[in-house]
Structure 1
Amino acid sequence: MNPSVLGQLTSSSSGHWRTSLTLCIVGISLLLGGCSGESEKAKETQTALDDSMESVQKYNGEGYALPYGNTTDKIAEANLDQIVDAGIKLFQENYKINVKVHNVVGAQDGATIFVESEGEPHFYTYAVVPIDEKENKVMTEKVWADEFQVENAIKGGLYHMIFKEEFSKLDNYLESVAADGQVTGKTKVALQNVGGQGFMTPYYFISMTSEELAIKHVYDLYKNNPHESIENLRNAYDKTQFDPENFYINIQYFMADEEAEPNKEIFNRVVKELEEMNSIPKGSYSVFLNDNLIDKQSADGTKDNSLERSFPDYIIKDY
C-alpha cells in the first residue's frame, strides 16, 4: 500500500544485487552466438533488478511487500479506517500507549500495521489484523501484536530514556560521521512506514534477547505507571544483570553517492573509533556499510558488497 494514503488519513495516526549474475547471463548468451531470446531474458532480469532497488535517500517505504499480500493489501486499503482505528485501540488498551499509524501492508491472511509511539519511550513496532480473503472481510476484533516484539520495542525506548546522556554521545558521533556527506542513513519516513524494529534512528536500531534482565524491573515499573519519572525508572535498572551478549546496537550506514561502492577507509575508521570510545551505551555493536541502494520490497540494504563487523565478532562495550 502506498504509505502516503495513511498520511492523509490520520494525524494521530534482502534482496541481493545480482549484477554479476546478470553479466554472466549476458556473456553466456553472446558466447553461444548472441541468441536473441537469451539476451532478451537478460535484459528483463536486469530491468527487474533495477526496478526493485532505489537510492536510500529517496526510499520512503513505497514498494514494500510481504509474502502473499497482494489480495489482502487491496482488502486492507478498502477498509483502512477500521484497521487504523483497531491498531490505535490495541496499543491504548493493552499497553497504555498512544501510537500513530503510518502504513498498512497486506500479508498472508492479514494486514500488518506499522506504528510509531507518541512521546517517550519512543519506538516503532507493528500489529496485525486478520483478513478472510474468501469472505473479503477484515476482522478488526481479532487484531493482535507480537508480545515479545512490542515488549522489546518498549524496552529499547526505555533504555534510550534512562541512558540519554550515553546515547546522546553515540548519536552525536554517528551524525558527525555522516556530516561530511560521504555516508548517510535511512530516511525518517522509511523508518515510520516500514521500520517496526523497536527504537530506531536513521543510523541504528536496538535489539535484545529474551534473556536481557537488567531492564526488566524498569519495564515492570513503567508498565504499572506509564507516567513514572525517569529518575525512578533509572533507579530500577539493575546493572548487575547486564550482559552485552543480550543487548545489541546495530549500526548501518549507506554510501551517499548513488554510484559509490562501500568505502573501506570510512568503514575501518568507524570501527576503530567505536572500539576506542568508552562513554557510549554498553552492549554488542555491529557495523554495516552498504552501497547507496536499498531493496524496495524488503527495506534491506545489505548485499554481497556490504562491509560488516558483526556476529561473531561484535564490538563489545561492557565497562
Structure 2
Amino acid sequence: MRKLTKILLCSIGITMMLGGCSDMNDTDKNGNDNEKVKETGASPSDNGLVSILDYNGEGYALPYGKKTGEIAEENREQIVEATITFFQEKYKTEVVVHNVVGAKDGATVFVESAGEPHFYTYAVVPVNESEKQVMTKQIWADEYQVQNAIQGGLYHMIFNQEFGQLDDYFTTLAKEEQITGKNEEALQKMGGHGFMTPYYFISTDANDAAIKPVYDLYLQNPDSNIETLRNAYEESLFDKENFQINIQLFMKEKQAEPSEEIFTQVTTDLEEMNNIPKGTYSFYLNDHFIHEESGEGAKDNSLKRAFPDYIIKD
C-alpha cells in the first residue's frame, strides 16, 4: 500500500513540484468561491476554466513566474540550446522544447523526446531576477521524474501490442461516445508526466525492478532495438504496485455533467479486458472544462475510481 500511495503522490505531484497548485477547484485565481460563481451565472471562462476542446496549454502558468518568464523569453534561444544539450549528454536522448514557463527563481522547460521511447518531461533553468540572467550552466532536472518518463516510454515500447489495445479502445470510445481527451498541443506545452496520450499517462516507481534493467540498457545503448530491450525486461519481478496507468476523460458537450453511464461502462470494460497492460489503473471522468493556468481537469463533480479502490489488472 505504501508503494501505491507513493505512485499516487508522484502522479499528481508534478504541478506542486513545479511551483503550481492543482487544488483550484473551490476558489478561482482571484480568491472567489466557485459555487458563488455558479450561482451568479458567470461563464466558466470567468472562473479560469476553458473548454477542453479549445485548450492548448497557452494559459499554463506557475506561481511567481511573471518576471522570470519575461527574462526566460528574452533568452529563449539560449535556454533551448542548453536544454537539448543537457538531455543529450545526461540521458542520451534527443528532445524537442515545446514551452518555457517562468517560475519562482527559474524557468521550467517542457520537452518531448524526438523518437522512441516517447515521453514528456521537463528541466529547470535558474533565473537571476535582479541581474536578468538565465543560468543555463546550472540547468537541472528531477532525476526521478526523468527516470519515470523514460521508463514509461520503455514500457509502452516493449508492450506495444497491449498498449495498442488500450489506445484503440479510447480512440473508438471517443468516436462513439460523448467523451474526449486533451489535445496533443496541450500535452506538449504543459505535460511533463512522462509517457502521455490524450487519455492517460503512465507512472512508474523508481524501485521498479522489472523495468530497471531496460532503463539501464537504454542509457548505455540508446540505439538498442525493441527486441533487445524486451529481452532485458525482468517479467518475474513485475509488481503491479510499481506501475500505474492514470486515465482522465472529459465530457465532449459543454453543458454535460460527468455521465454515470459512461463512467460505469468504461470501468466495466477495463475490468473485463484481458489484453491490455498489467498494472494499477485509476480513472477520472471530468466535465467539459479544464483550468487554464493549472491544466487541472478534476473537480468536485468528477467521477473517479482511484486510491484506494484502483482497477487492478494482473
Asked if TM exceeds 0.5, the reply is: yes
Tell me by how many angstroms 1:48 deviates: 8.7
The corresponding residue for 1:275 is 271
The corresponding residue for 1:158 is 154
The answer on 1:147 being equivalent to 2:147 is: no
The corresponding residue for 1:123 is 119
Q: Which has the larger radius of gyration?
A: 1
The alignment's TM-score, normalised by the length of structure 2, stands at 0.88
Q: Relative to 1, partners in 2 of residues 1:287 and 1:47: Cα closer, same or farther, differing over 3 Å? A: closer
Tell me by how many angstroms 1:222 deviates: 1.0
Aligned residues: 289
Matching residue's letter, 1:291? D
After the TM superposition, which of the residue ranges 121-130 and 88-97 deviates more from structure 2? Answer: 88-97
Tell me by how many angstroms 1:175 deviates: 1.1
The corresponding residue for 2:12 is none
Write out aligned runs for 1:240-251 (5 A): 240-251=236-247
Deviations 1:58-89 (A, max 9, x none): 00111111111111011111111111111111
The answer on 1:101 being equivalent to 2:97 is: yes
Matching residue's letter, 1:299? G
Write out aligned runs for 1:142-291 (5 A): 142-291=138-287
Query: How far apart, CA to CA, are the structure 2 residues paired with 1:125 and 1:286?
Result: 21
Tell me by how many angstroms 1:211 deviates: 2.4
Query: How far apart, CA to CA, are the structure 2 residues paired with 1:144 and 1:169?
Result: 36
Write out aligned runs for 1:9-48 (5 A): 14=22, 15-16=24-25, 21=33, 24=36, 46=42
Q: Relative to 1, partners in 2 of residues 1:21 and 1:234: Cα closer, same or farther, differing over 3 Å? A: same
Matching residue's letter, 2:201? F
Unpaired stretches in structure 1, ≥5 consecutive residues:
1-13, 28-41
Between the aligned residues of both structures, percent identity stands at: 59
Query: How far apart, CA to CA, are the structure 2 residues paired with 1:230 and 1:24?
Result: 54
Write out aligned runs for 1:62-101 (5 A): 62-101=58-97
Given that 1:18 and 1:49 are in contact with CA atoms closer than 8 Å, whether structure 2 keeps it comes out as no
Query: How far apart, CA to CA, are the structure 2 residues paired with 1:278 and 1:151?
Result: 28
Tell me by how many angstroms 1:210 deviates: 2.0
Query: How far apart, CA to CA, are the structure 1 residues paired with 2:146 and 2:34?
Result: 41
Unpaired stretches in structure 2, ≥5 consecutive residues:
1-21
Tell me by how many angstroms 1:246 deviates: 1.1
1:179 partner SS: helix
Query: How far apart, CA to CA, are the structure 2 residues paired with 1:205 and 1:168?
Result: 14
The alignment's TM-score, normalised by the length of structure 1, stands at 0.87
Query: How far apart, CA to CA, are the structure 2 residues paired with 1:274 and 1:230?
Result: 27
Q: Relative to 1, partners in 2 of residues 1:276 and 1:131: Cα closer, same or farther, differing over 3 Å? A: same
Given that 1:174 and 1:203 are in contact with CA atoms closer than 8 Å, whether structure 2 keeps it comes out as yes
**Structure 1 residue runs of 4+, over 6 Å off?**
none
Write out aligned runs for 1:298-317 (5 A): 298-317=294-313
User: Over aligned residue pairs, what C-alpha RMSD do you find?
Assistant: 1.9
2:307 partner SS: coil
Deviations 1:116-139 (A, max 9, x none): 001100000000100011111110
Query: How far apart, CA to CA, are the structure 1 residues paired with 2:38 and 2:71?
Result: 41
Matching residue's letter, 2:63? P
Tell me by how many angstroms 1:50 deviates: 2.0
Given that 1:128 and 1:143 are in contact with CA atoms closer than 8 Å, whether structure 2 keeps it comes out as yes
Query: How far apart, CA to CA, are the structure 2 residues paired with 1:222 and 1:126?
Result: 19
Query: How far apart, CA to CA, are the structure 2 residues paired with 1:17 and 1:224?
Result: 47
2:176 partner SS: coil
Query: How far apart, CA to CA, are the structure 2 residues paired with 1:230 and 1:22?
Result: 49
Query: How far apart, CA to CA, are the structure 2 residues paired with 1:23 and 1:306?
Result: 15
Deviations 1:132-157 (A, max 9, x none): 11111110111111111111100000
Given that 2:287 and 2:302 are in contact with CA atoms closer than 8 Å, whether structure 1 keeps it comes out as yes
